[in-house]
Amino acid sequence: MSLLEKLENRTATVGVVGLGYVGLSLAIEFARAGYKIIGIDINDEKVAKLNAGRSYVMDVPSDVVSKLVAEGRLVASSDYSQIANMDSISICVPTPLRSKSKDPDLSYILDAVSKIRKHLHAGQLVVLESTTFPGTTTEVIQPILEESGLSVGKDFYLAFSPERVDPGNVQFQTRNIPKVVGGVTEDCTRHARTLYGNCLDRVVGVSSTDVAEMVKLLENTFRSVNIGLVNEFALLCNSLGIDVWEVIDAASTKPFGFMPFYPGPGLGGHCIPVDPLYLSWKAKVNGFHPRLIDVAVQVNQDMPQHIVRKVREALKPLKKDLKGSKILVIGVAYKRDTDDVRESPALEIIHLLDQEGAKVEFSDPFVRFLQSNGSRLSSRTLSEKELAEADCVLVVTDHTSVDYELVARHAPVVIDTRNALKDFSGENIHRL
Give whichever of 43 and 238 is closer to ligand NAD, judged by the CB atom: 43
CA distance 97 to 95: 7
Q: Which of 188, 199, 237, 271 is catalytic?
A: 271
Contacts of ligand NAD in 259-318 (CB under 6 A): 270-271
CA distance 329 to 197: 44
Buried b (16+ CB within 10 A) or exposed e, 271-295: bbbbbbbbbbbbbeeeeeebeebbe
Number of helices (H) and strands (E) in the chain: give both, helices first.
14, 15
Closest contact distance (angstroms) between CB of 31 and ligand NAD is: 17
Closest contact distance (angstroms) between CB of 40 and ligand NAD is: 5
Count interface residues toward ligand NAD (CB under 6 A): 27
Answer for which of 6, 15, 16, 23 binds ligand NAD (CB under 6 A) is 23
Q: Are strands 179-183 and 157-160 parallel, antiparallel or unpaired?
A: antiparallel
Query: Burial, 375: exposed, middle or buried (Cβ in 10 Å; 0-12, 13-18, 19+)?
Result: exposed
| Residue 319 backbone class (left: φ over 0; alpha: ψ -120 to 50; beta: rest) | left
The radius of gyration computed from the CA coordinates of the chain, to the nearest angstrom, equals: 24
Q: Which stretch binds ligand NAD (CB under 6 A): 106-114, 147-155, 295-303, 395-403?
A: 106-114
Give whichever of 80 and 424 is closer to ligand NAD, judged by the CB atom: 80
Closest contact distance (angstroms) between CB of 187 and ligand NAD is: 25
Closest contact distance (angstroms) between CB of 64 and ligand NAD is: 17
Answer for which of 63, 111, 139, 201 binds ligand NAD (CB under 6 A) is 111
Give whichever of 102 and 359 is closer to ligand NAD, judged by the CB atom: 102
Examine residue 106 and tell whether it contacts ligand NAD (CB under 6 A). no
Q: Which stretch binds ligand NAD (CB under 6 A): 148-156, 161-169, 295-303, 374-382?
A: 161-169
Count other C-beta atoms under 10 Å from residue 5's C-beta.
11
DSSP letter, residue 395: E
Give whichever of 159 and 408 is closer to ligand NAD, judged by the CB atom: 159
CA distance 79 to 85: 11
Examine residue 112 and tell whether it contacts ligand NAD (CB under 6 A). yes
Examine residue 108 and tell whether it contacts ligand NAD (CB under 6 A). yes
Give whichever of 28 and 413 is closer to ligand NAD, judged by the CB atom: 28
| Residue 21 backbone class (left: φ over 0; alpha: ψ -120 to 50; beta: rest) | alpha
Beta-strand runs (E) in 190-303: 203-206
Which residue lies nearest ligand NAD, judged by its C-beta? 20
Q: Are strands 392-395 and 414-416 parallel, antiparallel or unpaired?
A: parallel
Contacts of ligand NAD in 342-401 (CB under 6 A): none
The residues near 172 (Cβ < 8 Å, ≥ 6 apart) are 166
Q: Which stretch binds ligand NAD (CB under 6 A): 12-20, 260-268, 358-366, 368-376?
A: 12-20
Residue 199: active-site member: no
Examine residue 4 and tell whether it contacts ligand NAD (CB under 6 A). no
- Do residues 152 and 138 make contact, with C-beta atoms less than 8 angstroms apart? no
CA distance 157 to 181: 13
Give whichever of 12 and 91 is closer to ligand NAD, judged by the CB atom: 91
Examine residue 17 and tell whether it contacts ligand NAD (CB under 6 A). yes
Contacts of ligand NAD in 125-144 (CB under 6 A): 130-131
Contacts of ligand NAD in 33-62 (CB under 6 A): 40-43, 46
The residues near 8 (Cβ < 8 Å, ≥ 6 apart) are 194, 198
Give whichever of 371 and 378 is closer to ligand NAD, judged by the CB atom: 371
Binding site for ligand NAD (CB under 6 A): 17-23, 40-43, 46, 92-95, 108, 111-112, 130-131, 163-165, 167, 270-271
The residues that are catalytic are 271
